[in-house]
Amino acid sequence: MRTVRYLVVHETRYDYGSAVSLSQQQLHLAPRALARQQVSAQQIEIEPRPTWRRDGEDAFGNPVTWLGFDTPHTTLLLRSTLRVSLRSTARPATLLTDSPAWENVRARLAYGAGKPQPEDLRATRFLFESPHVRIKHELAHYAQDCFPSGRPILLGAQALMAKIHREFTFDPDATSVATPVMDLLQHKRGVCQDFAHLMIACLRALGLAASYVSGYLLTRPPAGKPRLIGADASHAWVAVYVPDRAENWIDFDPTNNLLPDTEHITLAYGRDFSDISPLRGIILGGGSSEPEVAVTVVPVDEEALPEALCASAEPSRKH
C-alpha cells in the first residue's frame, strides 16, 4: 500500500486591539489516531506563554489542549507543526455495493427493547440534532431520491454527496459559521463546512448516523507554479456509520465529490463544527478581532525547512 508523508503548519493569530486580562482556550490541533494515519511529530508553539496547559481527550476521543492565560496580552499566536504519514486505504471495489441496505442500518440504530451492540450505541451520538445540524422533513425529502428502497447505505451516501456537489456552488462569501442549514438548502451556496453540515443533516433526517470530520486537504498549485506558503486551508467532510465492518466509519467529501484517501489529513470527529473547532475560548477584555489563519500542507518530497514555512506563512481564507 502507498504511503504519503506530509508536513503541516497551521498558524492562528489574534490581534485584540486592547489588552485581554484573562483568557481560556480549547484547541483541537493534534491529529486523531487512526489505523491509516500515523503522526511522527507534533508540537504547538504558543505566544504569549500560557499560565497553565492541560492535554487530554474530549468526549469523542479526540486529542484536545486546554490553555489558561492570567496575565494581560494584546495578541495570541498559536502555531501547530506536525509530520504525518497516510497509508492508502486498500478498499475493495465492492466497498459501496456490499454495504447493508440503508433501511436495515436505520432499523438497527432505532430505539428498541433489545440490547444494542457497543459500536451501535457509540454511533447513536451522531443520530440527533446538534448546534449546527437540524433534523427537518425538508432535509429528508431532499435526500430521499438518493436512498430508494433497498439501496446499500454507502451507495446512497455517494449519491447524496454527488447531488450536493452538483447542485451547490462553492462561495466563500455566501455564509458564515452561524449560517443555518435550512438557509444553505434554500440559497445553495457555501463552503466545505456548510456542505458537510448539510450532508450530515440529510443523513440524520433519514435516521442514519453521520459525523463531522475536520482536517486538512492537500491543494495543488497550477502546472509550473510553486506551492504557495500559507495557501492551503483547513477542511471539513463527513463520515457515515456502517455496522459490522472492520472500518465502521466511511468518509465522504461533498465539496470535492470523492472518498478521502491520502490527500485528507484527519484532525477530529464531532457532531458538527462546534464540537471540534480548531480554537475556541473565552476572554475578559480586548476588542473585536477576527483570527488570521494560515495553513500549509507540504508533501515531504517538496518539503522546505519548517522554520522557513512558519516565517513566511500568510493568512489564507478557510475552504
Residue 300 confidence class, pLDDT cut points 50, 70, 90? confident
Is residue 318 in a domain?
Answer: no
Q: Give me the number of domains the chain comprises.
A: 2
CATH number at residue 50: 2.60.40.2250
CB 137 within 8 A of CB 155: no
Residues 1-28 pLDDT 10s: 689 999 999 999 999 989 999 999 999 9
pLDDT band at 227 (very low <50, low <70, confident <90, very high): low
Residues 217-221 have a mean pLDDT of 83
The residue with greater pLDDT, 125 or 88, is 125
Q: Is residue 226 part of a domain?
A: yes
- Which neighbouring-strand residues pair with 171? none
Q: Which domain holds residue 298?
A: 3-87+277-312
The distance in angstroms from the start CA to the end CA of the chain is 29
Write out the E strands in 124-276: 169-170, 189-190, 210-217, 233-241, 249-252, 264-270
pLDDT at position 313, please?
40
DSSP state for residue 299 in the 8-state scheme? E
Per-residue confidence (pLDDT) for residue 316, from 0 to 100: 36
pLDDT band at 310 (very low <50, low <70, confident <90, very high): very low
Q: What backbone phi and psi angles, to 5 degrees, belong to 110? A: -70, 155
* Whether residue 243 sits in one domain with residue 140: yes
Instruction: Examine the domain organization and report whether 302 and 239 are in the same domain.
Output: no
DSSP 116-140: PPHHHHHHGGGSS-BTTB---HHHH
In which residue are the cell numbers 480554537 written? 279
Rounded distance between C-alpha atoms, residue 72 and residue 239, angstroms? 41
Asked whether residue 96 is assigned to any structural domain, the reply reads no
